[in-house]
Chains A and B, each alone.
Chain A
Amino acid sequence: MAQEPAALNGPDLTQGIPLAELADGGMLVGHAGGEQILLVRRGAEIFAIGAECTHYHAPLVDGLVVGDTVRCPWHHACFNLRTGEGRSSSATARSSWARNGISRR
Chain B
Amino acid sequence: MKPRARIAAKVPDKIVIVGGGAAGFAATDGLRRAGFQGSIALLSNEDAAPIDRPNLSKDYLAGSAPEDWVPLRPDSFYSEHGIDLRLSTHVTGIDARSREVVLANGDKVPYDRLLLATGAEPVRLSIPGADQPHVHTLRSLADCRAIIEQAKTARRAVVLGASFIGLEVAAALRARGIDVHVVAPDKIPMERVLGPAMGDFVRALHEEHGVVFHLGNTASSIDGNEVTLSGGGTLAADFVVAGVGVRPRIELAEKAGLTVDRGVVVNAWLETSVPEILAAGDIARWPDPYLGEMIRVEHWVVAQRQGQTAALNMLGNRETFTDVPFFWSQHYDVQINYVGHAEKWDELTVDGDIAGKDCLLRFKRDGRVLAVASIFRDVESLRAEVAMEARAVV
Residues of A near any B CB (own CB < 8 A): 1, 62-64, 66-69, 71, 73-76, 78-80, 83, 85, 87-90, 92, 94
The answer, among A69, A74, A90, for a CB contact under 8 Å with B1, is A69
**Bound-complex Cα distance A92 to B25 (A):** 9
The answer, among A76, A79, A92, A94, for a CB contact under 8 Å with B382, is A76
**Bound-complex Cα distance A64 to B70 (A):** 27
Which residue of A63, A78, A92 has the most chain B CB atoms within 10 A of its CB atom?
A: A92
Instruction: Please determine whether A90 and B52 come into contact, CB atoms closer than 8 angstroms.
Output: yes
Asked, given contacts A85-B1, A92-B25, A92-B29, whether A73 binds B304 with beta carbons under 8 Å apart, the answer is no
The smallest C-beta distance from A46 to any residue of chain B, in angstroms, reads 18
Given A71-B382, A83-B3, A92-B33, 5 new contacts (CB under 8 A): A69-B1, A75-B328, A76-B381, A89-B301, A92-B30
Chain B: CB-nearest residue to A63:
B382
Contacts of B378 in A (CB 8 A): 62-63, 73-74
Interface flags, B52-63, vs A, CB<8A=1, else 0: 100000000000
Contacts of A75 in B (CB 8 A): 301, 326, 328
List 22 A-B pairs, Cβ < 8 Å: A62-B379, A63-B382, A64-B383, A69-B1, A71-B386, A74-B378, A75-B326, A76-B326, A76-B337, A76-B381, A80-B1, A83-B4, A85-B1, A85-B4, A85-B33, A87-B323, A88-B305, A90-B72, A92-B25, A92-B26, A92-B30, A92-B307
Interface residues of B in 23-61 (CB under 8 A from A): 25-26, 29-30, 33, 52
Interface membership of B168, Cβ < 8 A? no
Interface residues of B in 246-291 (CB under 8 A from A): none
The smallest C-beta distance from A45 to any residue of chain B, in angstroms, reads 15
**Bound-complex Cα distance A80 to B4 (A):** 10
**Bound-complex Cα distance A85 to B26 (A):** 13
Interface membership of B238, Cβ < 8 A? no
